[in-house]
Chain A
Amino acid sequence: MNMIAGSASASAGVLGQPGASISVRGLTVTYNTGLTAVHDASFELDPGTICALVGVNGSGKSTIFKAIMGFVTPAAGDIRLSGRPVAEAVRRNVVAYVPQSEDIDWNFPVLVEDVVMMGRYGHMNFLRIPSRADRYKVDAALERVGMGEYRTRQIGELSGGQKKRVFLARALAQEGSIILLDEPFTGVDVKTETAIISLLRELRTAGHLMLISTHNLGSVPDFCDQVVLLNRTVLAAGPTAEVFTQANLERAFGGVLRQFNLGGAALHDDEDPRGLTVLTDDERPLVIYGDRKGQSALPAKRPDEPKS
């Protein structure tokens, strides 16, 4: 897999727009089954941010995405995207969204490149005739997710992880300054995950705002500068170092989290008083090496991480 590290300037167009921001205030979403999935949730996000949305199954992560896209109507509260109401922001292609699972017919006669071209439709005139620039952007998006060589495959003839990358490419081609990714790493191998993460970092440099839900607690401190902890409402929101702590995580996950505490003689026989805590809900575990519960996680350096 080769994700071409495209230059950040490829998406510099978004810098021309007023800063990408998300403002969610007092959001309450009730499904027509009567279930209130999200209650009085509030958080604010600024441009050039990667924010993780973390919580147990059913905590309302996907619901928040759907509310931000205007797919569900909030019972209460207000959402602004770059200062605009949801419907207007969606119409102006401010926001691109990659859902948790695609509800589509995989036998539909469209090729990979056709799907990515759909990302450009919102920018075309009413006849939807692609320009040379549109084609170029489709090529670039495909290369960035390393799917260039699969471009003429029918969409159903791909593996699960490859399908995910195609829809990520579609979101990139859409050039929204806000990108919502609902669990982009499930079913994706570590190599692809690493490549996606470095792609996200590039987009951050270019001023994009990304909101990403994940169960992959271990990689959150690596690349997310903000975290929103969710359980039917926002438990904590803010910079990763302040919010992504063992105490907060235990609050968000309750008994669901698997936890291993290693300390004292079980860990080492020197004078070091620190213990090792491994927190995991299902995927990559979060490793905390320290003595205080309030202590934040150490970002484990990734080999690909730029030295900043």
Chain B
Amino acid sequence: MIAELLVPFGYDYMLKAMWVSALVGGVCAFLSAYLVMKGWSLMGDALAHSVVPGVAGAYILGVPFAVGAFFSGILASLGMAFVRQHSRLREDAVIGIVFTSLFALGLLMASIWPTSVSVQSIVLGNILAISDEDVVQVAIISAISLCLLLLKWKDLMITFFDEAYARSIGLNTTMLKALFFTLLSACTVAALQTVGACLVIAMVVTPGATAYLLTDRFGRLIVISILLGAGTSFVGAYLSYFIDGATGGVIVSLQTLLFLAAFVFAPKHGILAGRRRAAMAGAPA
């Protein structure tokens, strides 16, 4: 029985999948703490879909997928900022337009120039078949992002909490926001490999949302979020050995389960806690 449970650890490809997933899951969860707080959750989804043409283009041109994906991610961010500034449309409409058009372009490119990589592996991800080359790319992206976030997390927190104040103590908020979106683009690219474009949104939203229900301090929110993201990704990749495939599905299902648990049982912000407080307030003294 125990021997059976340890089987995945005996395979190189499984070990690789588990560690890479955990790393990517952790970094995405770090970013999710900020996205959730700013109400920019959809931005993660938009970026994930927008990098598809970049990935397709990179395979066609034979350059590393990260280069292409990153390039189109930045293009999407700039596009959204530009349309937002020069029209009276609201953020959600702008995001919707920009990312669907880029996603459509990606599908079109992949069908006109059939490549060795199927679009399906971009859209759904396939961590179990990740190549060594891609592992290196993903690991480098995640490690750099993690370092920058650890150095700048407080500056980013002030920028997101109170931008005017951040400027008033001499922080360069424009640079900090640019840094954040660059990291977000880079990490969605990394997450594409593990869970695919459709589910990246879960990686950059759910852990932060869950942690937000559990604490009132931003530092702790980040720690909880990273633990959730990395833990579910590791376990999800492990479980997918037994369920046979669909790593992204397993990871995101786990994250959803934890979210539901927090939603119901969270000590202060959960449903039950709210009921308990209401009952106590109603009870005669």
Instruction: Kindly state the separation between the CA atoms of A126 and B170 in the bound complex, as whole angstroms.
Output: 12
- In the bound complex, residues from chain B placing their C-beta under 8 Å from that of A190 are none
The interface stretch among A3-11, A77-85, A106-114 is A106-114
Among the listed A99, A102, A114, A126, which residue makes an inter-chain contact with B218, where contact means beta carbons less than 8 Å apart?
A: A114
| Residue from A90, A127, A170 within 8 A of B170 (CB atoms) | A90
Q: In the complex, what residues of A have CB within 8 A of residue B221's CB?
A: 109
B168–A110 touching, CB < 8 Å: no
B167/A108 in contact, CB under 8 A: no
Known: A118-B162, A126-B151. A174 touches B218 (CB 8 A): no
Closest residue on chain A to residue B33 by CB atoms: A109
**B158 contacts the other chain (CB 8 A):** yes
In the assembled complex, how far is the CB of residue B282 from the closest CB belonging to chain A, in whole angstroms? 21
Residue of A nearest to B221 (CB): A109
Establish whether residues A110 and B169, one from each chain, have CB atoms under 8 Å apart when the complex forms. no
Partner of A105 from B158, B161, B168 at Cβ < 8 Å: B161
Complex Cα spacing A91 to B167, Å? 9
**A167 nearest in chain B by CB position:** B165
Q: Is the CB of B170 within 8 A of A128?
A: no
Residues of chain A whose beta carbon lies under 8 Å from any beta carbon of chain B: 69-71, 90-91, 93, 95-97, 99, 102-105, 108-111, 114, 118, 121-122, 126-128, 154, 170, 174
A114 touches B217 (CB 8 A): yes
Contact status of A104 and B162, CB under 8 A, knowing A90-B168, A90-B169, A122-B169 = yes
- Taking a contact as CB atoms under 8 Å apart, the answer to whether B169 and A109 are in contact is no
Interface of B is mostly: helix
Measured in the bound complex, the distance between the Cα atoms of B218 and A119 in whole Å is 16
For B167, give its contact among A71, A93, A114, A128 (CB under 8 Å): A71
B37 within 8 A of A: yes
- CA of A61 to CA of B167 in the docked complex: distance in angstroms? 20
**Do A121 and B161 touch across chains, with their CB atoms under 8 A apart?**
no
User: Could you list 18 further interchain pairs (A-B, Cβ under 8 angstroms) beyond the known A105-B161, A111-B216, A154-B216?
Assistant: A69-B167, A90-B169, A93-B170, A95-B168, A96-B168, A102-B162, A103-B162, A104-B162, A108-B160, A108-B161, A109-B212, A109-B215, A114-B218, A118-B158, A118-B161, A118-B162, A126-B151, A127-B154
Contact residue among A102, A103, A109, A121 (Cβ-Cβ distance under 8 Å from B158):
A121
